[in-house]
């Protein structure tokens, strides 16, 4: 019989991201952030490739990233509302950890599995922050998919891309519960 960890299961069963726009200061210090990054790095990683790394964006850098998003949005001829939304997470942000997917050459580990691992790091960091009492949210948006933004804002190499921005701060507003999936409707049992 397995030994349940009721506290961990209760957390996972009720965890809820906090809207990034409601996160305020104070934010985790470098010392407070380090164990969250360590917990996030304990993720499924077939082949032990570590196909990800972290870039911590502090408040002073947020303005620069907002300006890069604005410039890239204009260069791409995006609609004004898309540009506003793209720069908004940086205008409003106080601290974000960018999880960078780093594709590593491997004969055994497909690129897609490396992408999955980077996604697991994002969720691991989000949950570690929430479990530590911080508010947190995983954002992406068009800047995270734009090669020009990746290069201009963060200096990423061609084999790197943004898996997500994990915004972390003091939770100022608990959002209402939202509808959750009907598990019976999306689960198939194969018994023979």
Range of the domain at 154: 18-172
Is residue 8 included in any domain, yes or no? no
Is residue 187 included in any domain, yes or no? no
The reported pLDDT for the residue numbered 173 is 85
The reported pLDDT for the residue numbered 69 is 98
- CATH number of the domain that 139 lies in? 3.40.109.10
Question: Would you put residue 174 in left (φ > 0), alpha (ψ -120 to 50) or beta?
Answer: beta
Q: Is the pLDDT of residue 116 over 90?
A: yes
Is residue 134 included in any domain, yes or no? yes
pLDDT above 70 coverage of the chain, percent:
100
Residue 16 among known ligand-binding residues: yes
The reported pLDDT for the residue numbered 176 is 82
| 143-182 tens-digit pLDDT | 999 999 999 999 999 999 999 999 999 999 878 888 999 9
Is residue 141 included in any domain, yes or no? yes
HEC string of 114-131 equals: HHHHHHHHHHHHHHHHHH
Cis peptide before 80 (omega within 30 of 0): no
| 43-86 tens-digit pLDDT | 999 999 999 999 999 999 999 999 999 999 999 999 999 999 99
Is residue 12 included in any domain, yes or no? no
Q: Is the pLDDT of residue 100 over 90?
A: yes
The reported pLDDT for the residue numbered 172 is 92
Q: Is the pLDDT of residue 185 over 90?
A: yes
The reported pLDDT for the residue numbered 138 is 98
Domains in the chain: how many in total?
A: 1
The reported pLDDT for the residue numbered 124 is 98
Q: What is the mean pLDDT of the chain?
A: 96
Is residue 190 included in any domain, yes or no? no
Residue 139 among known ligand-binding residues: yes
**Token pair listed for 104:** 């590593």
Is residue 114 included in any domain, yes or no? yes
Residue 18 among known ligand-binding residues: no
The reported pLDDT for the residue numbered 178 is 87
pLDDT above 90 coverage of the chain, percent:
96
Is residue 26 included in any domain, yes or no? yes
The reported pLDDT for the residue numbered 66 is 98
Q: What is the mean pLDDT of residues 98-109?
A: 97
Residue 140 among known ligand-binding residues: yes
Q: Is the pLDDT of residue 25 over 90?
A: yes
């Amino acid at each position: 019989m397995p030994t349940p960890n009721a506290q961990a299961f209760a957390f996972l069963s009720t965890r809820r991201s906090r809207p990034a726009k409601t996160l305020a200061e104070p934010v985790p210090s470098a010392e407070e952030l380090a164990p969250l990054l360590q917990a996030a790095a304990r993720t499924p990683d077939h082949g032990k490739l570590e196909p990800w790394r972290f870039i911590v964006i502090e408040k002073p850098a947020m303005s620069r990233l907002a300006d890069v998003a604005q410039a890239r949005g204009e260069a791409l001829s995006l609609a004004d509302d898309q540009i506003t939304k793209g720069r908004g997470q940086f205008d409003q942000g106080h601290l974000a950890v960018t999880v960078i997917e780093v594709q590593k050459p491997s004969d055994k580990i497909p690129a897609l599995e490396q992408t999955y691992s980077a996604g697991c790091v994002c969720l691991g960091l989000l949950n570690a922050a929430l479990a530590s009492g911080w508010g947190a949210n995983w954002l992406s948006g068009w800047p995270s998919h734009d090669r020009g933004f990746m290069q201009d804002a963060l200096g990423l190499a061609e084999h790197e891309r943004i898996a997500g921005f994990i915004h972390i701060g003091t939770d100022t507003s608990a959002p209402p519960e939202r509808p959750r999936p009907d598990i019976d409707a999306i689960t198939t049992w194969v018994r023979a």
